[in-house]
Amino acid sequence: MATFDNFFNWVMLMACVLLIVPNCINAQTSNASTIHIKSSSPNIIIILADDLGYQDVGFNGCKDIPTPNIDKIATQGVNFTNAYVSYAVCGPSRAGLITGRYQDRFGFGRNPLFAPNDPEMGLPLSEETLATALKKGAYKSVALGKWHLGAHTSQRPLKRGFDDFFGFLSGGHQYFPELWTLKDEYEVKAQFDAYNTKLLRNDDRIEEKEYLTDALSREAVSYIEKYKEEPFFMYLAYNAPHTPLQATEKYLTRFKDIKDPKRKIYAAMVSAVDDGVGNVLKKLEELGLTENTIICFLSDNGGPEKVNGSNNGILRGGKGDVFEGGIHVPFAMKWPAKIPEGMTYEAPVISLDLFSTVIAQSLVPIQSKNELDGVNLIPYIVGEKKGIPHDYLFWRKFDQNKVACRNSNGDKMIVHKDEQMLFNLKEDISETTNLIEKDNEIFQTLQASYQNWNSQMSDPIFYGLGDDKEYNEKHPNRFNKQNKN
C-alpha cells in the first residue's frame, strides 16, 4: 500500500511538472521578447544648438574653437554637407523639426511671443510632436532646455508627449543662475523679462545653482541613467550660443588667444556645449548604449554673425536670411548599429527628415498622425535606396516677403520683395553670381514649384515678435495670472 501511495504521489508530481514547465518556458519567451523589443528599438538623442554658425564646428573646418566631442558624431557617423532647417529663425525652425512638417502648413510662420495666457500662441494642438508619436513605440521622452513652442499650460512639453521637462519656455534665457530672479511666468512684465525666470522641472519652478549649459548637460546625463532600461527619446535643446553672451571662467580661459571679445565669449559658450556632448557620449558608453543610440546634432538656424560673433564661413548671410547662411546648418548623425563611420552625404536633406527617420527605426510600428514632409534618411545613407530624398526644398518668411526654393541639382531661386535671384550652389555656394538672365527658364521652373508648394501653406495664425506692442494693446492682461480651466 505504501509503495502504491509513493508511486501515485510521484505520478502526480510529474504531472504538475509537465504542466508548469511549458508555462515557465512561455513566460521566459515572452519576457525575452519584451527585452528584445526594448533593446532593438534605438534610443534617440537630438542635440540642437541655437544660432550656431555653419563653420563653428570642427567637422566644418573651424580652427579657433575645438569641438572634439561634437565632431565625433560626424566622424563616427555621417556628415550631411547640404543640410538645411525649414526656417531661418528659432521658433518656426523648432516647430518644423518637432513635427516633421513645414511649419507654414499649420501657421507657425513667426517667432511666438511669450504669452502664458494665450493657448493659440504656439504649436497648434492639431500637430503631433515626435515625442507623442514615439509613445506609440513605447518610448520615454524628455525635453531639456529651450522650448519656444508655447508658454500656455496646454502647449508645454508634458502636454505635448514628453514624460519629463527641464528648462525654460521662452525664446532665450540668461545663463547665470543669479540672474533668474523671477519666480514664475506671472512676474514677467515684458517680452524679454522671461529670460529671467527660474527654470522648470516638469511643472515646478526650481532653484538651480549651475551655469545653464552645464545644468542642461548634467540633466541629460541623469535622464540617460533614468531611462537606460527602455527606449528613450531625448530632445536636448541647448540655447547656447544664442545671446546674451555669457560664459564662466572655466570656458573663457580656454580662449585667451582670441582677441575679439564677442568671439571669445561665443567660443567659450560653444565649448561648454561640446563638453556637454562629451558627457552624454561618455554616459552612453558607460551604460553600453552607444551601439544602438541614434545621435543627431544640428543648429536651429544659421549664426547671426554681427550679433553673437558666430562664423558662417563662405555662406552668404546669416540668421533671418533665406541665403545659405540663414538656413544651411551643421548637421551630423551617428548610429553605430546601422551607419558606418566616416560617411559624407551630399544630397540635400532637411531637419524635417528627423521625424520620419526616427519613427521608422522603432521595432514597434509607428504611424504618424499627420502627413509628413520629411523622409526616412537611413535607406539613402546606407545605400539601400537609390535616388535622393528631396527633389525640392522650400522656405518662406511671410512678413518679410522672402522666399526660396532649391532643387537637387543645386539651383536655387530667391525672391525678396521685387528682387529675383538665381544661383547654382554647386558652382557658387556663396551666392555671389545672379544667373537670373542667363538661366531664366530654370528660375521659372523653381518659381512654379514654389508656388505649388505655397498654395498648400497657411498664413501665420498668431502675432510675432515684431507685433509685441500691438499684441499688448489687444491683450492688456497678457501676464496677469488667470484662473485655470
Q: Helix 212-227 vs helix 261-286: angle between axes, to the nearest 10 degrees?
A: 10
Task: Report the alpha-carbon angle 165-171-172, nearest 5.
Answer: 90
State how far the Cα of 126 lies from the Cα of 104, in Å rounded to an integer. 13
3-state secondary structure (DSSP) of residue 403: strand
State how far the Cα of 108 lies from the Cα of 174, in Å rounded to an integer. 25
Question: ω into residue 241 within 30 of 0, thus cis?
Answer: yes
- Cell numbers representing residue 466 in the block: 515684431
- Which residue do the cell numbers 519567451 mark? 29
Q: Which residues contact 165 (CB under 8 A, 6 or more apart)?
A: 142, 143, 144, 147, 156, 157, 158, 200, 201, 202
Q: Which residues contact 400 (CB under 8 A, 6 or more apart)?
A: 416
- Cell numbers representing residue 114 in the block: 511669450
The catalytic residue among 16, 36, 62, 90 is: 90
Q: Is 90 one of the catalytic residues?
A: yes
The catalytic residue among 24, 36, 148, 390 is: 148
Which H or E element spans position 224?
helix 212-227
State how far the Cα of 360 lies from the Cα of 381, in Å rounded to an integer. 14
Bridge partners of residue 415, in order along the sequence:
403, 420
- Cell numbers representing residue 87 in the block: 526656417
Q: Which residues are catalytic?
A: 90, 148
